[in-house]
């Protein structure tokens, strides 16, 4: 049984370095597994994205005993390389750049964050929770399918590694993983 207590909150300036370290660690893990996902990431650009998302208040972190356990970005941004007019872009909230620290893998933190994101999507009267995943990573596609997502389609964009589009109804909860104490909600209200 997992007795750790996890809390989710909005990212703050002091989280930039820990988030970068978590992304570095994740990219190294993917490389070890000989996966090309995120291998072309430019660290400087990545950091700029983290800072932009932080300022936009769309970046969140999960902490366990004040240590960074995971990060997720959640917003209305539907990447127009992938999502078309007929997808009704405004009908969803979109998950981006979700990563769990190796020390906190395997307890269902990803699932818990996706349920948290779904709650926000539903509260905002969105019909869907959506994301785009790495096109060629079958194991990652299976991960999302096992959590109740359906693949919408693969959108092959020559210069993008991502483009496997997934959606789950906003009112769906997978219901596993540790409870997340939602400090983000409190902070925003």
Ligand X SMILES: CC(C)(COP(=O)(O)OP(=O)(O)OC[C@H]1O[C@@H](n2cnc3c(N)ncnc32)[C@H](O)[C@@H]1OP(=O)(O)O)[C@@H](O)C(=O)NCCC(=O)NCCS
Positions in the binding site for ligand X (CB under 6 A): 26, 30, 35, 37, 98-100, 105-106, 108-111, 131, 133, 137, 139-140, 143
Q: Which is nearer to ligand X, 110 or 125 (CB)?
A: 110
The CB-of-54 to ligand X minimum distance in angstroms stands at: 19
The CB-of-93 to ligand X minimum distance in angstroms stands at: 15
Q: Which is nearer to ligand X, 62 or 184 (CB)?
A: 62
Which residue lies nearest ligand X, judged by its C-beta?
110
SS3 category, 133: strand
Q: Which is nearer to ligand X, 54 or 163 (CB)?
A: 163
Q: Which is nearer to ligand X, 159 or 186 (CB)?
A: 159
Q: Are 118 and 170 in contact (CB under 8 A)?
A: yes
The CB-of-10 to ligand X minimum distance in angstroms stands at: 19
Between the alpha carbon of residue 38 and those of residues 3, 56, 98, 108, the distances in Å are: 32, 23, 12, 22
The percent helix, strand, coil of the chain (3-state, each to 5) is 40, 30, 35
Residue 10 CA, distance from chain mean position: 13
SS3 category, 73: strand
């Amino acid at each position: 049984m997992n007795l750790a207590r996890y809390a989710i909150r909005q990212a703050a300036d002091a989280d930039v370095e820990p988030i970068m370290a978590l992304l570095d660690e994740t990219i190294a893990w993917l490389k070890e597994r000989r996966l090309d996902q995120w291998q072309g990431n430019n660290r400087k650009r990545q950091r700029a994205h983290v800072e932009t998302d932080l300022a936009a208040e769309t970046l969140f972190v999960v902490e366990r005993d004040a240590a960074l356990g995971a990060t997720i970005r959640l917003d209305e941004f539907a990447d127009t390389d992938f999502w078309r007019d007929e997808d009704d872009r405004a009908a969803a909230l979109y998950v981006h750049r979700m990563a769990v620290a190796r020390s906190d893998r395997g307890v269902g933190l990803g699932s818990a964050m996706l349920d948290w994101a779904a709650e926000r999507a539903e509260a905002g009267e969105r019909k869907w929770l959506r994301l785009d995943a790495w096109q060629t990573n079958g194991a990652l596609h299976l991960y999302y399918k096992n959590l109740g997502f359906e693949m919408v389609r693969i959108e092959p964009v020559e210069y993008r590694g991502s483009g496997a589009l997934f959606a789950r109804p906003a009112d769906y909860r997978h219901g596993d993983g540790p409870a997340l104490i939602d400090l983000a909600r409190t902070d925003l209200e």
